[in-house]
Amino acid sequence: MRHYNIPIFIPHQGCPFQCVYCDQKIIASKHEAPTLLEVSETIERHLATIPSEDTEVEIAYFGGSFTAIASEVQETYLQAAAPYLEDERVVGIRLSTRPDCIDRDILGRLDRYGVKTIELGVQSLDDQVLKMSGRGYTSDDVFKACQVIKDQGFKLGIQLMIGLPGDDRARDMQTTKLAIGLNPDMVRIYPTVVIAGTVLERALNRGDYVPLELNEAVGICKDMYLRFAAAEIPVIRMGLQTGEELRREGSVLAGPFHPSFGELVQQEIFCDQARSLLGDYMRRNGLQAELQLWVNPRDLSLLTGQQRRNVLFLTEHFGMRSILIKTRSDIERLTIGISQPHGLEVDTFLKRQEMLERIQDEP
Ligand code: SF4
């Protein structure tokens, strides 16, 4: 069953919060709240392109703070989705909001209108980071919100950010550990970038904020992803959506912005997996000048990396002459095989699951 979200952006006009990375004035000036006619046109347009067999469609109200907007406005948008739920063309509504804009009454209303999934913009579970980022709530508020969301039977999504003011790798890993304890149904991870016109831009100009380098952000995201994967929690997105605004010249001033950020993280994971397999092979068979690695054709670019970066790194790391990459469509996805050069049979495989089990055994 394939899942589709029909995204509808609901701006939080007049948001009273001051998150340091947010350019809400620009967002609010660029996005008018959609009319009900526009909402139904958007839904119809998407439904016309989504296959009806074996699919599960949700209407996704995103924008960050759905339950912080006026309750009558929330109701209007929720009602707009009702006909599609009634004729079963969509299975539910999902929305994103802040952890401190959730309580049992709000959840009762969402439930009545068919909301199934709530994504919380948690960002961090470190109180110092939350404070320095101007989020306006504590980790305790997050724990309480997650608990009531789960208790009332909603699916829970958690959005996390790395590279916020006061943040570092250790705090990100601690946030990951605590987030796993919340048992979310899905996670998104976003690297912090400096957007023009934000508090962060002023901090950057004063030298009070140093953004992550791209390779640091990819490395932290990789470690978080692997921890979530080992706990069987899907990470459904890594990296910002490269919408029109972010692509506009002068919009992103600094930070680890990359249009294929998630792909870079996946390539690093394949590199680690291949390093683990090559290391095991050489421990058993002695040093080798040449070897072949095998993958499913759909994983080829993830194993080789951008501009063959992974192959070059692994060749140098193991002091080899060359590593040949071969594909075979009967190899499972996320699995790497190894063999002698020019061999037609694979000697050993390392599945992603086995790699994750090793991570789980680490302290
Ligand atoms: S990110 Fe923060 S400041 Fe921006 S709209 Fe959301 S709550 Fe308001």
Span 82-112, pLDDT tens digits: 999 999 999 999 999 999 999 999 999 999 9
Q: Write the residue with the smallest CA distance to atom 2 of ligand 1.
A: 19
Q: Is 186 exposed, middle or buried (0-12, 13-18, 19+ CB in 10 A)?
A: middle
Average pLDDT over residues 120-134: 97
Query: What pLDDT sits at residue 250?
Result: 78
Average pLDDT over residues 343-352: 92
In 3D space, the residue among 132, 125, 4, 135 whose CA is nearest the CA of residue 58 turns out to be 4
Q: Sorting pLDDT into bands at 50, 70 and 90, what band is 28?
A: low
CATH topology assigned to domain 267-361: hypothetical protein PF0899 fold (3.30.2320)
State the average pLDDT for the chain: 93
Position 354, amino acid? E
Q: Enumerate the domain spans of the chain.
A: 2-259, 267-361
Contact 212, 192 (CB under 8 A): yes
Helix/strand/coil for 56: strand
Three-class SS state of 52: coil
pLDDT interval class at 244 (50, 70, 90) = low
pLDDT at residue 65 in the model? 87
Q: Is the CB of 24 under 6 A from ligand 1?
A: yes
Quickly list H helices, 57-138. Answer: 71-86, 104-112, 127-132
Specify the pLDDT at position 134: 95
Q: State which of 13, 23, 24, 98 you would mutate to test the pocket of ligand 1, scoring each by most atoms of that ligand within 8 A of its C-beta.
A: 24
Cα distance between the two ends of the chain: 36
Output the six-digit token pair for 172. Answer: 């990100």
Please give the average per-residue pLDDT across 246-257, as a whole number. Answer: 84
Q: Is the CB of 64 under 6 A from ligand 1?
A: yes
For the record, the structure tokens of 297 come out as 């054709």
| pLDDT surpassing 70 at residue 74 | yes
Distance from Cα 201 to the centre of ligand 1, integer Å: 16
- Give the DSSP H or E segment for 57: strand 55-62
Residue 12 Cβ < 6 Å to ligand 1: yes
Percent of the chain with pLDDT over 90: 83
Ligand 1 mean position, distance from CA 65 (Å):
7
Q: How many residues does the chain have?
A: 363
Top-confidence residue, 25 or 214: 214
The CATH-assigned architecture of domain 2-259 is Alpha-Beta Barrel (3.20)
What is the per-residue pLDDT across 174-225, written as a single tens digit (0 to 9) for each? 999 999 999 999 999 999 999 999 999 999 999 999 999 999 999 999 999 9
How many Å lie between the centroid of ligand 1 and the Cα of residue 198? 11
pLDDT band, residue 16 (cuts 50/70/90) = confident
